[in-house]
Structure 1
């Protein structure tokens, strides 16, 4: 006796019919590459800023992004997160997504044909203008990520990120799609998921209403090219160390002057590169 398919159950999706992965947000439901519980599925506000992430580990998201202020903003629909599982786009019986490097060498390289299929799905419903919707590959050889880049991404409609694994991605894919490579720093991670999380956090916190107090983003490190001034809070004296007197004076002009001087000194001492750039802008 064979099992009869339940007509109430939808047919499983394939890469040919799949749409971008599950959305973490409010007010709309999107198709995903794997079954999900719609009772637990966050909804998505129309026109909210969106991050689409092509990854072999979709369950890594939202992770820490689902907590604190970014998590609250996610629940309120101020932004949306759409992981896309790369595995279903794999080739052959075992859904292989990688192969050995041409010319020999250690490790494996993510295949161009597999990634191209995933990017086709990820592009559905997104603007073709890269100024409105950047396409990013997280790579240690990319342009260093900084606050200016976070502000640029926050001003877009959203972005798509490709999380690498193994020895990287077939160069032909990067060239064909003119993918922007972005680096989190001069070090190597086992994959792009942690870097993607950091990039999204730095970007999402700049979106309107996410932090609640816009002044927070205006006064912090890098907002004016300087590192942030020192911060203090209660108790007024701790371990015989008092809060600097100027901060408790109530003189807001003096406080602002002190903080700016501290920011300049810290930047000059700790980040000579930023200090020189700051001086050039002032000149």
Structure 2
């Protein structure tokens, strides 16, 4: 089945963008948009653009913003039948991007965190899998889930046969990925700052960080570093690729786009040496606003 389960945050992104660099307290003209977002939704949107049907497992409120997100997800071709609805408000993310960089952001994912393992019901109760017949496809996981819930997923038999692809929500939540360091069926997609936070080192390049983490984890790790070389360690050593040079018009969701594109490239049978640059090219098109 050409489906991938995306577990995590689906919310509204409110993003202000200006071409000019901003310092603390600055006030600049620009554009403000409200679009479907959240790590799981960002991944799902790229999957859908690349011809894969995403299945969303998330928590949304029984409110108008939640209804709007359901409608938007269905319009994009996503499966929304298993989304958990509650009386808690639908979550929101707010960011300011200036000069092609992220200036500041606040993620309000409190409802997702409060719901806890209720969003996992379809993987546990037979709708998508169960412990004695576990789901054996790709699952994209979002670091906005709580540390306790991610630890449960890493160890739960219902996820033991899945190809787990894990994205941190932010450097500040990187510790939530710790349960997957001993998970040999997981792949972690992180940037250089997150890699150093996870390893407790101060590597200056993605290849160095990938090598460091390869010595600390059983999981596969891909490390990106903005416009500089990305890297992963495989059976044949360190694989690197440099993203295409583009003018950055947006940055929110770039890492999620890279992760989704890499998943699709591998599922299409591309070798590691081809999958990594293919994913970087997709992410570059996203950042430049051409995709």
What TM-score, normalized by structure 2, do the two folds share?
0.31
What TM-score, normalized by structure 1, do the two folds share?
0.32
Bigger Rg, which one: 1
